[in-house]
Structure 1
């Protein structure tokens, strides 16, 4: 095959050029090795930033009580804000633990799942504003659907992160898989119940959405284990 006149063989370079090329290749290799660590740092920073913005947007949705007749609605909006705040805070805390204990070198799969997770979570301000405007069964049910999708994506992030950490242990992989299936099953069951409950008693369902993250945060269960 005829070589293109613009292509060069390594032997065509001078000793100085070869040395520079070798240095560039070494730097590129080092950068590739450090890429997962940099991704780990950037994902955590991205999570922190997006969740902080989500909470900020939600609190701005609270309308002040201009007149005394609006005070009851003002208090109700604060309660709805607190529910969403603790939901987002619990998601943040779970991801913080995951990235601290076993997601040391996140893969592209984990990054993509994290993006979908944050995209879904970013819908919570819209759902919260909807509930503040009208505490209807449909509004609360949609809040529950967004919460459920975020929970499943969170478990997927934890699952793939833990699976990569324990990839050399077949027994650990089995334990992780079983734990993940159990977690998803329980989450689906509880959230379907809450979504159905929201169609009949939306206020009770919203209170339970507050109870779940607060209980999870104050009384953690096996948070020191991989999943």
Structure 2
């Protein structure tokens, strides 16, 4: 009653302006997920590009022939990390292209956590370039493992929200997605354990994961209800 009475103080023109503002606000709320999706994609591209740029700057040039072997070793470590980070970018690209259409705050938080974890790769790479020790490679593996876990959560919550909004599609947690997710996590754990004994070999084998992921991308499939 009080609110209705207070509106009587406004003129018809002012009431119309207020109604128009309310409609604009509702329209903005409706479009916000789509805008968030677009900005998250742009943010992902920018952050990952910076991460890769920082990593390549860690390569030390060979001052003379004595340092050339170390120079080649740094390039090898860079390439391994490059393909790992690039693979995460590719997975994010597929996720936002196929089923993350209306990301929520939860999806945004997961995405930020993934980018924060990926931002540690330049430090881990620099550490391994300085010394390919057990401790360095193990920490590299832990950062990689956390990124994989967060990536899977981002895919899950993103697809879940798409299904919830559309009411037409449903998530099919198909066997290939589950098996592939478990496979990635198990491989990461095995490589971390391997790093305790043969860190150099484990570091090289880390290249296998992005290669498999690029050839056989892991994503949630959405199908129509029958």
Both proteins in one fold, TM over 0.5 = yes
1:134-161 CA distance string (max 9 Å, x none):
0001101100000000011001011111
Contact 2:128 2:136 in 1 (8 A): yes
Q: CA 1:126–1:221 in 2, change beyond 3 Å: closer, same or farther?
A: closer
Match of residue 208 from structure 1: 205
- The equivalences for 1:145-160 within 5 A come to 145-160=142-157
Could you list the runs of 5+ residues in structure 2 that have no partner in the other structure?
Answer: none
Could you list the runs of 5+ residues in structure 1 that have no partner in the other structure?
Answer: none
Match of residue 72 from structure 2: 75
Match of residue 186 from structure 1: 183
Determine which of 39, 42, 54 is the counterpart of 2:39.
Answer: 42
- The equivalences for 1:72-111 within 5 A come to 72-111=69-108
Q: CA 1:190–1:222 in 2, change beyond 3 Å: closer, same or farther?
A: closer
- 1:221 and 1:40 mapped to 2: Cα distance? 21
Match of residue 221 from structure 2: 225
Report the 3-state secondary structure (helix = DSSP H, G, I; strand = E; otherwise coil) of the residue aligned with 2:50: helix
Contact 1:163 1:176 in 2 (8 A): no
Determine which of 19, 24, 44 is the counterpart of 1:22.
Answer: 19
1:9-35 CA distance string (max 9 Å, x none):
112101111111111111111111110
In the superposition, the TM-score normalised over structure 1's length comes to 0.89
- 1:192 and 1:222 mapped to 2: Cα distance? 18
- 1:71 and 1:179 mapped to 2: Cα distance? 44
Q: CA 1:179–1:11 in 2, change beyond 3 Å: closer, same or farther?
A: farther
Q: CA 1:169–1:137 in 2, change beyond 3 Å: closer, same or farther?
A: farther
- 1:45 and 1:188 mapped to 2: Cα distance? 28
Match of residue 129 from structure 1: 126
Range with greater deviation from structure 2 (198-207 or 129-138): 198-207
- RMSD, aligned CA: 2.4
Match of residue 63 from structure 1: 60
How many matched pairs? 221
Question: How far apart are residue 192 of structure 1 and its match?
Answer: 1.0
